[in-house]
A and B are shown apart, each in its own frame.
Chain A
Amino acid sequence: MLTLAEIMETIKMVQEENLDIRTITMGISLRNCADPDPRTACRKIYNKITRLASRLVAVGEEISREYGIPIVHKRISVTPISLIAECSHQEDYVEYALTLDAAAAAVGVNFIGGFSALVHKGFTGGDRVLINSIPAALAGTERVCASVNVATTGAGINMDAVYLMGRVIKETAARTAEQGGLGCAKLVVFSNVPEDNPFMAGAFHGIGEPECTINVGVSGPGVVKNAVARVGNADFGTLAETVKKTAFKITRMGELVGRLAAERLGVPFGIVDLSLAPTPAVGDSVAEILEAMGLERCGTHGTTAALALLNDAVKKGGAMASSYVGGLSGAFIPVSEDAGMIRAVEEGALSLDKLEAMTCVCSVGLDMIAVPGDTSAETIAAIIADEVAIGVINNKTTAVRIIPAPGKKVGDKVTFGGLLGEAPVMAVHPYSADNFVRRGGRIPAPIQSLTN
């Protein structure tokens, strides 16, 4: 029989410490929707999404009510559109984005991911069309998220794609200038992208995935922070053990909700993503966990070590709690979506360089970073190149979601609202990397790719 203390612990996690299921994401394969006639393809896409996801939101709300655990988002990821649209020989794929947007609206989900291309070794015709369509697609839709994988440990870094993404990000910012460059908040550049990530904006339904699946992302920085605060000045072994046990409990909720959702929707359960995902709400911050470990401010010396401990302990606890773990599975450090990160930047404790170092030991990367509006495409490409190099060499996922906020300077703030929060504009290095970025071609796969 459960004890009173156990029951109260669970209730406290939900009511006071912001424990929630961040997202139930339905992955849908669109591979049988390709058609030489784009109208037919779009009709098939719309019909398939609205058919498979028709009950997604209702089932999510039903589980949330019965089990008393908030499920914040219900979302959809689809096969990378570059693969589906390619056979229709169009000059842009905006129509596909509009179709995804309409289907997402019809079933009531707030984001749909998969306006994506995988170009780590090179571009196909369809990949180029898709990437060139991203600025218009993100400016013309509300719910569509785009991502591009530009590097893998096995293939190296497609520097042509890196440079192209620098320009695409600039254009996306320009096209959504009135909303502070909001389009860029829905665009992620990846290395070693996972195919089953449930979190936006980088979610898509990979080509090795089944017809339809349910992936779950949990969230509980507040719970971990309070657990860390309770152990006081205990040694690192105790600290790691505490985080591990807490992560186990959080992940069990994700496992339960994922299994229930999959069962009720009649689709296979995919994975639980173990990432600690913060929100702008006070007390739901990864930075505050690091500060509770004994750092005066996130970003000071010791931050990378603290984050490494946290991320590892979360994985160890989470892996035991779930039968299938996947996605990104690591602590997120998005600046604009984390109140503690925002404060650290505003107080000068956290710089872009320190963030880059932190991404070596956690997922995902430079996430939701606002930089001055006059930052050049070449500089953005160089920032991407650095970040994906970390991923390629360390055999992990890294990503860049950067917003060159139009008209903004260092010290200004960009507000996106809702879960995307608000980002203080951060300084970039003034020295040029133009000649490096413009070389073109591919950085070869590193020696650690030769594992066979």
Chain B
Amino acid sequence: MYVQEPKKNRIIVTVLGPDRVGIIAGVAQVLAENNINILDISQTILQEFLAMIMIADMEKSYIDLATLKERLAAKGSELGVQIDAQHEDAFRFMHRI
């Protein structure tokens, strides 16, 4: 078992908040601008809230994860939702052996 450098690895972007037009477009725009490839998107409505999850690849990203988090948070406040990005290992380690 080894831990890969986050720069070369996959991230999970989570969006939580009231549903509205343009959320996916907004998040995808931030990712595209920074050359981050979206691998998978899934979403559900939890207690009238939108929960959306994107798995993305930061291999060729122009920015690091900390900067991406800031940009996503800014986009989130613009859209009225909470957006965060975390390294995929935080989830993989917990749910997969």
Interface residues of chain A, those whose CB is within 8 Å of chain B, are 1-2, 4, 6-11, 62, 65-69, 249, 252-253, 255-256, 259-260, 263, 323
Q: Which 8 pairs across A and B sit closest by C-beta, in order of nearness?
A: A68-B86, A67-B90, A256-B93, A6-B95, A252-B93, A252-B94, A249-B94, A4-B42
Q: List 27 A-B contacts (CB under 8 A).
A: A1-B40, A2-B12, A2-B55, A2-B92, A4-B43, A4-B44, A4-B51, A4-B53, A7-B14, A8-B51, A9-B95, A10-B91, A65-B65, A65-B69, A66-B6, A66-B65, A66-B66, A66-B86, A67-B87, A68-B84, A68-B87, A68-B90, A252-B93, A253-B90, A255-B93, A256-B89, A256-B93
Roughly how many angstroms separate A68 CA and B53 CA in the complex, as a whole number?
15
Q: Interface residues of A: mostly helix, strand, loop or mixed?
A: helix
Closest to B39 in A: A1
Indicate if B88 sits at the interface (CB-CB under 8 A): yes
Q: A2-B12, A66-B65, A68-B84 are in contact. List 6 more A-B contacts (CB 8 A).
A: A2-B88, A2-B96, A4-B42, A6-B91, A68-B90, A256-B93
* Per-position binary interface string of chain B over residues 40-67, scored 1 when its CB falls under 8 Å from any chain A CB and 0 otherwise: 1011101000010101000000000110
Most chain A beta-carbon contacts within 10 A, residue among B55, B89, B90, B92: B90
Size band of the interface chain B makes with A: 20 to 34
Closest to A69 in B: B90
Roughly how many angstroms separate A10 CA and B6 CA in the complex, as a whole number?
19
Is there an interface contact between A1 and B55, defined as CB atoms closer than 8 Å? Answer: yes
Interface residues of chain B, those whose CB is within 8 Å of chain A, are 1, 3, 6, 12, 14, 16, 40, 42-44, 46, 51, 53, 55, 65-66, 69, 84, 86-96
Q: Which of B12, B66, B69, B87 contacts A7 (CB 8 A)?
A: B12
Is there an interface contact between B40 and A10, defined as CB atoms closer than 8 Å? Answer: no
Is there an interface contact between B95 and A65, defined as CB atoms closer than 8 Å? Answer: no
Distance to closest chain B CB from A369 (angstroms): 35
Distance to closest chain B CB from A89 (angstroms): 47
With known contacts A2-B88, A66-B86, A67-B86, A8–B3 Cβ distance under 8 A? no
Q: Which residues of B contact A10 (CB under 8 A)?
A: 90-91, 94-95
Q: Which of B16, B44, B91 contacts A2 (CB 8 A)?
A: B91
Q: Which residues of A contact B91 (CB under 8 A)?
A: 2, 6-7, 10
Roughly how many angstroms separate A9 CA and B94 CA in the complex, as a whole number?
10
Q: Which residues of B contact A253 (CB under 8 A)?
A: 90, 93-94
Closest to A253 in B: B94
Closest to A323 in B: B1
Roughly how many angstroms separate A388 CA and B94 CA in the complex, as a whole number?
36
Closest to B9 in A: A66
Distance to closest chain A CB from B15 (angstroms): 11
Distance to closest chain A CB from B23 (angstroms): 16
Roughly how many angstroms separate A9 CA and B84 CA in the complex, as a whole number?
15
Roughly how many angstroms separate A65 CA and B90 CA in the complex, as a whole number?
11
Closest to A13 in B: B94
Roughly how many angstroms separate A329 CA and B14 CA in the complex, as a whole number?
33
Distance to closest chain A CB from B1 (angstroms): 8
Q: Which residues of B contact A260 (CB under 8 A)?
A: 3
Q: Which residues of B contact A62 (CB under 8 A)?
A: 66
Q: Which residues of A contact B86 (CB under 8 A)?
A: 66-68
Distance to closest chain B CB from A260 (angstroms): 5
Roughly how many angstroms separate A259 CA and B6 CA in the complex, as a whole number?
14
Q: Which of A2, A11, A66, A263 contacts B95 (CB 8 A)?
A: A2
Roughly how many angstroms separate A341 CA and B12 CA in the complex, as a whole number?
38
Roughly how many angstroms separate A411 CA and B60 CA in the complex, as a whole number?
63
Q: Which residues of B contact A9 (CB under 8 A)?
A: 95
Q: Which residues of A contact B44 (CB under 8 A)?
A: 4
Is there an interface contact between B95 and A8, defined as CB atoms closer than 8 Å? Answer: no
Distance to closest chain B CB from A428 (angstroms): 44
Roughly how many angstroms separate A67 CA and B93 CA in the complex, as a whole number?
11
With known contacts A1-B55, A8-B51, A65-B66, A259–B94 Cβ distance under 8 A? no
Q: Which residues of A contact B66 (CB under 8 A)?
A: 62, 65-66
Q: Which residues of A contact B89 (CB under 8 A)?
A: 67, 256
With known contacts A10-B94, A66-B66, A249-B94, A256–B3 Cβ distance under 8 A? yes
